[in-house]
C-alpha cells in the first residue's frame, strides 16, 4: 500500500517531468520540430501523453 507521501512525491515528479518535456518541445526550433513531424502548438498534449499515458 502506498502512503500519501509516496503518492504526493510521485505526482510532483510526474508534474515536473510534464513541465520539462512540454517546455523542451515548445522551445524546439521550428525546422527541427517539422523534421520530427511535431507541431509545437501540441507540446502540452505530447508531453501529457509521454508522462501520463493516453488521455
| Cα–Cα dist 30/25, whole Å | 10
Q: What is the pLDDT of residues 2-54, one digit of tens each?
A: 799 999 999 999 999 999 999 999 999 999 999 999 998 999 999 999 999 98
Whose cell is 520539462? That residue is 20
pTM as predicted? 0.85
Greater pLDDT, 1 or 30: 30
- pLDDT for residue 1 is more than 80: no
Residue 6 confidence (pLDDT): 95
Q: CB of 51 within 8 A of CB of 14?
A: yes
Residue 53 confidence (pLDDT): 95
Residue 2 confidence (pLDDT): 75
Q: Provide the grid cell at 42.
A: 501540441
Amino acid at each position: 500500500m502506498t502512503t500519501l507521501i509516496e503518492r504526493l512525491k510521485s505526482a510532483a515528479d510526474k508534474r515536473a517531468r510534464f513541465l520539462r518535456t512540454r517546455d523542451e518541445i515548445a522551445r524546439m526550433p521550428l525546422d527541427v520540430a517539422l523534421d520530427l513531424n511535431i507541431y509545437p502548438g501540441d507540446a502540452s498534449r505530447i508531453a501529457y501523453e509521454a508522462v501520463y499515458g493516453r488521455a
